[in-house]
Amino acid sequence: MLELEHLSKTYADGTRALSDINLSVRQAEIVSLIGGSGCGKTTLLRLIAGLDRSSAGAIRLDGELLSGPHPSVGIVFQEPRLLPWLSVFENIAFGLEHLGANERKARVEHALDKIGLSEHAKRWPRDLSGGQQQRVAIARAFVTNPTVLLLDEPFSALDAFTRASLHEHLLGLWEETRPTVVLVTHDVQEAVTLADRAVVMQPKPGRIFDELSLTLSRPRDKTGLAFENSVRRVLTALDHSLNPSQQQPQRERDRQAAALWW
């Protein structure tokens, strides 16, 4: 289990990016962080990844205190960040130097097959489309079998069709090893498509405003009433999160979401 305990972050200039974040994410759970600009979503991901240090609080993974980058925690950024001097195969294999050649080859070939790029194994990153490059980045993160995978808006620069395709590839890889996934997104439909729970954050300083369970079966029917209702619930919570003066109880927000639906 990934546990964030009273996590806060204040920068040297006095900016309070995060305040008293408490969140538990179960093994194999996919949680989306969603909220307005400046609510600290990416800052929170960087703290979990060990790329920055918190001002207060603690981060634990299965009881172990995390104080920096950890081999069990992987991350995929907004841009692919592939190494241009390595082939597609070599980019995916980059974090597998500790494995024998046969095991490394088997893992990479399986990952290439899962993301539909087996025929591109020997190509250079510059020869791939943006969507293909991001598929390689996702495969590189999954192939190390992380316990926790952090996704920082990895689909934000892609068109809707490519994004939907990558959602399928992501869930296909996740189904095999079922890591804990924390996804930062600005896209409510993306959050409902992928996550088991949506955590809505509020800005100035960044803090958790609401948590909504998304108990929809997979694969999710985006044309169904249940999906649309879940989208409306998240949108309602998001709307309230952007108005700090409205601190309504959960039951009232649910009532308003239901009223919007009907």
Q: Which domains does the chain have, with CATH numbers?
A: 2-86+144-261 (3.40.50.300)
* pLDDT one-digit tens code per residue, 156-177: 878 888 888 888 888 988 998 8
Confidence category of residue 254, pLDDT binned at 50, 70, 90: low
- The pLDDT of residue 190 is above 60: yes
Strand order across the 73-76 sheet: 73-76, 148-152, 180-184, 30-35, 197-202, 207-213
Average pLDDT over residues 4-28: 93
Can you tell me the distance from the alpha carbon of 208 to that of 218, in angstroms, rounded to the nearest whole number?
26
User: What pLDDT is stored for residue 245 in this prediction?
Assistant: 65
Average pLDDT over residues 81-103: 92
User: What pLDDT is stored for residue 262 in this prediction?
Assistant: 45
* pLDDT one-digit tens code per residue, 56-67: 999 999 999 998
Q: Quickly tell me which residue has 């069990």 as its tokens.
A: 72
β-bridge mates for residue 56, sequence order: 8
pLDDT, the chain, mean? 89
Q: Quickly tell me which residue has 């992380």 as its tokens.
A: 146
Average pLDDT over residues 3-15: 93
For the chain, percent of residues with pLDDT exceeding 90: 63
Q: Angle formed by the axes of helices 101-114 and 160-177, to 10°?
A: 140
Q: Which of 4-8, 158-162, 170-174, 196-200 has the lowest mean pLDDT?
A: 158-162
Helix (H, G, I), strand (E, B) or coil at 215: coil
User: What pLDDT is stored for residue 59 in this prediction?
Assistant: 95
Q: Which string of DSSP letters, residue by residue, matches 27-84?
A: TT-EEEEEESTTSSHHHHHHHHHTSS--SEEEEEETTEEP-S--TTEEEE-SS----T
User: What pLDDT is stored for residue 157 in this prediction?
Assistant: 74
174 Cβ contact partners less than 8 Å away, ≥ 6 residues apart: 30, 142, 149, 181
User: What pLDDT is stored for residue 61 in this prediction?
Assistant: 94
Distance between first and last Cα of the chain: 38
* pLDDT one-digit tens code per residue, 229-248: 999 999 999 999 888 665 54
